[in-house]
Chain A
Amino acid sequence: MAEVTEEKVKVKEPKEPLFSKKNRKLLVDPLADNNPITIQVLGICSALAITAQLKPSIVMAISVIFVLGVGNVVISLMRNIIPSKIRIIVQLVVVAALVIIVDQVLKAFAYTLSKELSVFIGLIITNCIIMGRFEAFALGNGPWKSFLDGIGNAAGYGVLLIIVAFFRELFGSGTLFGAKVLGDPIEKTGLYAIGYENNGFMVLAPMALITVGIIIWIQRSRNKALIEDH
């Protein structure tokens, strides 16, 4: 009898609203104060590789949002039936399947972009953020929460990608989305007429690292709570 009543109490527990404060936190936190790139320092490799221009970064951000959002839900649904010894393999299979979908869609509808991103779409599989969220969150939480967490973290990653790409494309190539916002370097119009030149260093990978570093620096000097003690 006692067991039955207990179960009944559980069922009667008021359901958490879809966007409760806790759930909203899951979605919003990774955008700033728990950003996967600047705070957890994950996913740096792709942040260096594809942020020379805005367009590929945005495609990359959308792809990761899709993969991580869906992947988190799938893993969360299966979390009780995955034997813990082979969970990494299961996770890899799930990511790989999703990445192949993204890759095929890109090849079908945006061939030039897919060429531009080349191997880096495939390399989403190894993006540490994805495995990190599977392990740290989806394996222990329900599908809705996992979905929010996945979208939030991937969006946090995407936002940073876009910020870095904005500066790199603007100063490195003098364009935004391929539009020559600073003038034409060959015909010497706009800023180039008065002697401005594109900064070649911005296009190289080290500058992406330095840009991320500067963002980390600014973020931590604005919010001292983020500074780690040693």
Chain B
Amino acid sequence: MGLKDKLHKLKLKYKGKKMAPAFNAIHTFLYLPNETTHSGAHVRGADDLKRTMNTVIMALLPCLIFGMFNAGYQYHLASGTIEAVSNGFFSSEFWSLDNFMIGFWEIIPLVVVSYGVGLAVEFVFAVIKGHEVEEGYLVTGMLVPLIVPVDTPLWMLAVAVIFGVVIGKEVFGGTGMNILNPALTIRAFLFFSYPGWMSGDKVWVHSAVEKSGVDALSGETVLGFLANSKPFDYSVSDMFFGFIPGSVGETSAFLILLGGLFLIFTKIGSWRIMLSAVLGALVMGLIFNGVVNAGWVTDSSKFYALMSLEFWKHLIVGGIAFGIVYMATDPVTASQTNKGKWIYGFLIGFISILIRVFNPAYPEGVFLAILLMNVFAPTIDHYVVQGNVKKRMKRLKLKTA
């Protein structure tokens, strides 16, 4: 008798009991369930929640693997054992097993803790509330390790995951009911709770925090350099391909672009949100560039470095690309109407750059911008729908009059 049958027997035994959802979840996760629907006509849709989630995870995997290489690369680069990348995306300095192994052993624990703790919370709530375990955490659990610095202590991550899943999702009724993106709630919790581990010039490179004094390592992010008006020597291709310090999975604009195209192609992510968010960011960048060109801000201002950054470069530094492609498009927390999606996306891009430039304490504004717009998404939808209702009422009146 295989595991599948044993699980099936357990399921029958515990049917209607408290622990039933836990067994059901393990069973459906591992196997195709034995049950079939007995009556009624039903349409078979291939794109159920599980499929959707798996597609997003597939789009995230390149970022994760790149993040592992990058963690090792940044570590070796900062300790001076290897040279900087020399020939484009496939540089051998970057894609070495040595780099990968360092990153692998740093990042796999993050992934394990994120999934382990998050799913444990989901199981507990499913048992308490007596509903089935939902697949909602599959993507969140993958997003979380990608948006934190590589050296984040695991217990902090665990605390943040519990907070994010409970306060960000379960209090509103679980998957599909949440108003805030749980992964970003976790990120925001970490950022405000333990700022020393989430920003500054030490956290982005593995083991830089422990080492100090003579063999101190440091790896400021590009945004960090800009916010402090310090010079840096990353080329545009470094920034585009992602050979820069930053959170685990957010550095490579190139891979995020590919992931975004994949999501658009599979119709999982909304191209409206992605496109309008990019437009919003570019518009805000252009406004700042215009202000600088007009001479209203001189280089004595502390905002000068970020304001004078060419508008399109905002898209390839920091986490904005990652946020736009994987976070803003979360179907639960984004606007539902098409017109609403344009407004929602545009404001995310616009506000991200605004926060990035004007608040040096938060060099990365995209997670705050997305959380803010998550809160406003239902309002935007409401007015879009009301506008449509009014338009139609008018048409009706014209006809009857």
Interface residues of A (CB under 8 A from B): 195-197, 199-202, 204, 210, 213, 217
Contact = CB atoms under 8 A, between A and B. Distances in A.
Interface stretch (B74-82, B188-196, B357-365, B389-397): B188-196
A227 to B, nearest CB: 14
A201 B189 contact: yes
Contacts of A217: 171
Given A197-B197, A199-B159, A201-B192, 5 more contacts: A195-B155, A199-B193, A200-B194, A201-B193, A210-B167
A200, A201, A204, A217 pick with most chain B CB within 10 angstroms: A201
Contacts, number: 23
A200 B195 CA distance: 8
Interface residues of B, number: 13
9 contacts: A195-B153, A197-B196, A197-B197, A199-B194, A200-B194, A201-B192, A202-B193, A213-B171, A217-B171
Nearest to A217: B171
Contacts of B153: 195, 197
B194 to A, nearest CB: 6
Given A195-B153, A195-B155, A200 B171 contact: no
A197 B195 CA distance: 11
Nearest to B155: A195
Nearest to B167: A210
Main secondary structure of the interface of A (DSSP, over half): helix
Given A202-B193, A204-B192, A197 B171 contact: no
Chain B residues touching A, majority SS: helix
B108 interface: no
A200 B160 CA distance: 13
Interface in B109-167: 153, 155-156, 159, 167
Interface in B186-241: 189, 192-197
Contacts of A204: 192
A228 B103 CA distance: 51
A202 to B, nearest CB: 7
A196 B193 CA distance: 12
Nearest to B189: A201
A199 B196 CA distance: 11
Contacts of B194: 197, 199-200
A72 B192 CA distance: 42
A13 to B, nearest CB: 51
Contacts of B192: 200-201, 204
A165 B193 CA distance: 17
A215 to B, nearest CB: 13
A217 B197 CA distance: 31
Nearest to B188: A201
A162 to B, nearest CB: 22
Nearest to B153: A195
A221 B197 CA distance: 36
Contacts of A196: 155
B321 to A, nearest CB: 27
B257 to A, nearest CB: 33
A204 B192 CA distance: 9
A164 to B, nearest CB: 16
The 8 lowest CB-CB distance pairs between A and B, nearest first, are A201-B193, A201-B192, A199-B193, A200-B193, A197-B194, A200-B195, A195-B153, A200-B192
Contacts of A201: 189, 192-193
B196 to A, nearest CB: 7
A199 B189 CA distance: 9
